[in-house]
Structure 1
Amino acid sequence: MTQTLNIIGGGMAGSEAAWQAANAGLNVVIHEMRPKVETFAHQTGDLGEMVCSNSFRSDDDEQNAVGLLHWEMRAAGGLIMATADKHKLPAGGALAVDREPFAQSVTAALKSHPNISVSYEEITELPTDGHWIIATGPLTSGNLADAIANETGKDALAFFDAIAPIIYFDSIDMSQAWMQSRYDKGETEEERTAYLNCPMTRDQYEAFIDALLASDKTEFKEGETAGYFDGCLPIEVMAERGRETLRFGPMKPVGLTNANDPENKPYAVVQLRRDNALGTLYNIVGFQTKMKYGAQTDVLRMIPGLQDAQFARLGGIHRNTFLNSPTLLDGQMRLKSKPHLRFAGQITGVEGYVESAAMGLLAARLAVAEITGQELDPVPHTTAMGALVTHITGGADAKTFQPMNVNFGLFPPVEGLKGGRKGRKDRYKAYTDRAKADWTAWLDSQ
Structure 2
Amino acid sequence: MDKRLHIVGGGMAGSEAAWQAAGLGLDVVIHEMRPAVGTFAHRTGDLAEMVCSNSFRSDDHEQNAVGLLHWEMRQAGGLIMDMADRHRLPAGGALAVDRDAFARAVTERLRAHPKITVEGSEITHLPQDGHWIFATGPLTSGALAEAIRAETGADSLAFFDAIAPIVHFDSIDMSRAWMQSRYDKGATEEERTAYINCPMDRDQYEAFVDALLSAEKTEFKQGETAAYFDGCLPIEVMAERGRETLRHGPMKPVGLTNPHQPQVKAHAVVQLRRDNALGTLYNIVGFQTKMKYGAQTDVFRMIPGLQDARFARLGGIHRNTFLNAPTLLDAHLRLRSRPNIRFAGQITGVEGYVESAAMGLLAGRLAAAEIRGTALPPVPPTTATGALVTHITGGADARTFQPMNVNFGLFPPVDLKGGRRNRPARYKAYTDRAKADWRAWLTPVSEPA
Q: Tell me, in whole angstroms, the C-alpha distance in 1 between the residues paired with 2:29 and 2:375.
A: 24
Answer whether contact 1:10 1:136 (CA < 8 A) is retained.
yes
Distance 1:372 1:322, change over 3 A: same
Structure 1 residue 415: Cα displacement? 1.2
Structure 1 residue 3: Cα displacement? 2.1
The residue number in structure 1 matching 2:51 is 51
Q: CA offsets per residue over residues 398-420 of structure 1, 9 Å max, x none? A: 00000000000000001134445
What secondary structure sits across from 1:266 in the alignment?
coil
- What are structure 2's unaligned runs of at least 5 residues? none
Q: CA offsets per residue over residues 263-312 of structure 1, 9 Å max, x none? A: 10100000000000000000000000000000000000000000000000
Answer whether contact 1:168 1:280 (CA < 8 A) is retained.
yes
Indicate yes or no: 2:438 matched with 1:439: yes
Q: Tell me, in whole angstroms, the C-alpha distance in 1 between the residues paired with 2:11 and 2:355.
A: 12
Structure 1 residue 2: Cα displacement? 8.2
Q: CA offsets per residue over residues 67-94 of structure 1, 9 Å max, x none? A: 0000000000000000000000000000
Q: How many residues align?
A: 445
Q: Tell me, in whole angstroms, the C-alpha distance in 1 between the residues paired with 2:3 and 2:71.
A: 30
Alignment map for 1:121-200 (pairs within 5 Å) = 121-200=121-200
Q: Tell me, in whole angstroms, the C-alpha distance in 2 between the residues paired with 1:358 and 1:74.
A: 10
The residue number in structure 1 matching 2:423 is 424
The residue number in structure 2 matching 1:71 is 71
Q: What residue identity is the alignment partner of 1:443?
A: L
Q: What residue identity is the alignment partner of 1:11?
A: G
The residue number in structure 2 matching 1:205 is 205
Q: What residue identity is the alignment partner of 2:363?
A: A
Q: What residue identity is the alignment partner of 1:360?
A: G
Answer whether contact 1:30 1:119 (CA < 8 A) is retained.
yes
Q: What residue identity is the alignment partner of 1:328?
A: L
Answer whether contact 2:196 2:271 (CA < 8 A) is retained.
yes
Q: What residue identity is the alignment partner of 1:440?
A: R
Answer whether contact 1:417 1:426 (CA < 8 A) is retained.
no
What is the TM-score normalised by the length of structure 1?
0.99
Q: CA offsets per residue over residues 316-355 of structure 1, 9 Å max, x none? A: 0000000000000001100000000000000000000000
The residue number in structure 2 matching 1:323 is 323
What secondary structure sits across from 2:270 in the alignment?
strand
Structure 1 residue 445: Cα displacement? 2.7
Q: Tell me, in whole angstroms, the C-alpha distance in 2 between the residues paired with 1:56 and 1:153.
A: 35
Q: Tell me, in whole angstroms, the C-alpha distance in 1 between the residues paired with 2:192 and 2:7.
A: 40
Q: CA offsets per residue over residues 64-119 of structure 1, 9 Å max, x none? A: 00000000000000000000000000000000000000000000000000000011
TM-align CA RMSD: 0.9
Q: Tell me, in whole angstroms, the C-alpha distance in 1 between the residues paired with 2:418 and 2:52.
A: 38
Q: What residue identity is the alignment partner of 1:138?
A: P
Q: Tell me, in whole angstroms, the C-alpha distance in 2 between the residues paired with 1:250 and 1:407.
A: 20
What secondary structure sits across from 2:412 in the alignment?
coil
Structure 1 residue 121: Cα displacement? 1.2
Q: CA offsets per residue over residues 142-173 of structure 1, 9 Å max, x none? A: 00000000100001100000000000000000
Q: Tell me, in whole angstroms, the C-alpha distance in 2 between the residues paired with 1:10 and 1:417.
A: 45
Answer whether contact 2:416 2:426 (CA < 8 A) is retained.
no
Q: Tell me, in whole angstroms, the C-alpha distance in 1 between the residues paired with 2:87 and 2:364.
A: 25
Q: CA offsets per residue over residues 193-249 of structure 1, 9 Å max, x none? A: 110000000000000000000000001111111000000000010000000000100
Q: Tell me, in whole angstroms, the C-alpha distance in 1 between the residues paired with 2:419 and 2:145.
A: 43
Q: What residue identity is the alignment partner of 2:180?
A: Q
Q: What residue identity is the alignment partner of 1:396?
A: A
Alignment map for 1:33-432 (pairs within 5 Å) = 33-420=33-420, 422-432=421-431
What secondary structure sits across from 1:101 in the alignment?
helix
What is the TM-score normalised by the length of structure 2?
0.98
Q: CA offsets per residue over residues 383-428 of structure 1, 9 Å max, x none? A: 00000000000000000000000000000001134445x4110000
Q: Tell me, in whole angstroms, the C-alpha distance in 1 between the residues paired with 2:353 and 2:114.
A: 26
What secondary structure sits across from 2:340 in the alignment?
strand
What secondary structure sits across from 1:139 in the alignment?
coil
Query: Percent identical across equivalent pairs?
Result: 79
Q: What residue identity is the alignment partner of 1:69?
A: L
The residue number in structure 2 matching 1:4 is 4
Q: Tell me, in whole angstroms, the C-alpha distance in 2 between the residues paired with 1:398 and 1:38.
A: 32
What secondary structure sits across from 2:138 in the alignment?
helix
Q: What residue identity is the alignment partner of 2:350?
A: V
Answer whether contact 1:173 1:305 (CA < 8 A) is retained.
yes
Q: Tell me, in whole angstroms, the C-alpha distance in 2 between the residues paired with 1:186 and 1:156.
A: 41
Q: Tell me, in whole angstroms, the C-alpha distance in 2 between the residues paired with 1:91 and 1:417.
A: 35
Q: Tell me, in whole angstroms, the C-alpha distance in 2 between the residues paired with 1:224 and 1:11.
A: 27
Q: Tell me, in whole angstroms, the C-alpha distance in 1 between the residues paired with 2:34 and 2:241.
A: 37
What secondary structure sits across from 1:262 in the alignment?
coil
Q: Tell me, in whole angstroms, the C-alpha distance in 2 between the residues paired with 1:339 and 1:296.
A: 46
What secondary structure sits across from 1:255 in the alignment?
coil
Answer whether contact 1:418 1:427 (CA < 8 A) is retained.
no
What secondary structure sits across from 2:425 in the alignment?
helix
